[in-house]
Structures are given as C-alpha cells and as structure tokens.
Amino acid sequence: KQEVTQIPAALSVPEGENLVLNCSFTDSAIYNLQWFRQDPGKGLTSLLLIQSSQREQTSGRLNASLDKSSGRSTLYIAASQPGDSATYLCAVNDNYGQNFVFGPGTRLSVLP
Amino acid sequence: DAGVIQSPRHEVTEMGQEVTLRCKPISGHDYLFWYRQTMMRGLELLIYFNNNVPIDDSGMPEDRFSAKMPNASFSTLKIQPSEPRDSAVYFCASSYIATDTQYFGPGTRLTVL
C-alpha cells in the first residue's frame, strides 16, 4: 500500500528565504506526482504536476523535482513571500493512474 | 468556468440525521472525485467516477456512505445515518482524465453533533 510522508510538518521562515519542502513515497511505481497548495478554509490548488518520466517542473518561483527510484520529491520555493504562507501537499498517482494518495502536508509560514 | 461548485459550504446536523452533499464539476471533465479531510487522517479519497460511472469506491468508510452521479454535471454524497465521527471537510474535485491535474471545490465543512 502506497504511503506518502512529508517533512517537515511545519516550517516558519523570514521573507526572502529560499526553502525546500520534502515528500517521500514508499512505492516507486507511480504514474505522476502533484504538488498542491491549500489555504486555510479553502480547497486545494494544483501547483505542479510531474510525470514519472520527468525529473522536474518549474512554474515561476516554484521548482519541483522527482527522483522516482528513491521515492522522493522536493518543492523548492525561491525568494519566499508572506503570500506563500499555506499548507503544501504532495500526492502520487499509482502506475495505473487509478489510485490517489496524499501526504499529510507541510504548513508553511513566511514572516514579513 | 466557475470552477467546481459544492453545496452547502457548512452543514451542522444531529447524529442520526441524513446528510446530502452536492457537487457540480467543471464542464467537460470526465472524472469526479470525492475526498474527506480530517486532522487525524489527512485527505482521503472516498470514491471517484468516470463518465458518471463509479470506478473505485474502496475508500468509502462504510455502508452509511453512498455516492451517485446521475449526470455529467451533478454528484451527491449521502451519509445516512450520520455520526459524530463523520465530522470533516468533504471535497469534490474533477479532471479531464484520471492522471491529469485535479481541480478542487471549496469543500463542505460537516459537523455532526
């Protein structure tokens, strides 16, 4: 059974810092991996989707990498801003694209 | 498009009552997902549909939960009878294909007293 973990559970940084969020999964036979953002009391917003054949994806200040063989993904946020404060979740689809498993999330606070 | 629409946004009910949550997916999306989020268990997939047909309901916790999708623009998640442990935020999401980006609704916060 696929299990997804995220470290750290919470992170507080001053504005302007670069930071890395980590996601690990137990079964490397995945179809793709997605990073989501969740603001308090809101739904999830997809940030980046990485296919199993890809190594990384970039969108603005965000860069996500994937090392399928080691079961790891990282989300790099450059020049963090207070508006980046939210919970970040990663989710994996299994090799058939039929099973969706989410990690518990990392709660990020960027202090002005 | 207005995005995924869920109603109600908040529901407070008493134990034993029937609860119906509603979802309107993004037009043109063939997949619809129901999730439950709690502090203890995080975000869990309950069931998903493809072209209105339930594909995998293995995440539905027990027979008290049922979901339907009578047409491409509407789905319901029903709990009957409700229990306090069902208190959670229930999300609906949709996508073009199963492996594509999922678009989430704002969620329904359910409190069962």
Q: How far is B67 from chain A (nearest CA, A)?
A: 18
pLDDT band (50, 70, 90) for residue A70: very high
* Per-residue model confidence as pLDDT tens digits over B20-35: 999 999 999 999 999 9
* Per-residue model confidence as pLDDT tens digits over A20-60: 999 999 999 899 999 999 998 889 999 999 999 999 999 99
Is there a contact between B43 and A89 if contact means CB atoms under 8 Å apart?
A: yes
Cis peptide before A40 (omega within 30 of 0): no
A46 touches chain B (CB under 8 A): yes
Q: How far is A49 from chain B (nearest CA, A)?
A: 7
A49 touches chain B (CB under 8 A): yes
| Residue B26: HSE in the Cβ half-sphere, 13 Å Cα cutoff | 17
* % pLDDT > 90, chain A: 83
- For the record, the structure tokens of A20 come out as 């890395």
Residue B1 pLDDT greater than 70, yes or no: no
Residues with Cβ within 8 Å of residue A53, at least 6 apart in sequence: none
> How far, CA to CA in Å, does B62 sit from each of B65, B66, B78, B81, B83?
6, 9, 12, 11, 12
Beta strand B10-13 pairing with B65-71: unpaired
pLDDT band (50, 70, 90) for residue A97: low
Element (H, E) at A86: strand A86-94
Is there a contact between B98 and A97 if contact means CB atoms under 8 Å apart?
A: yes
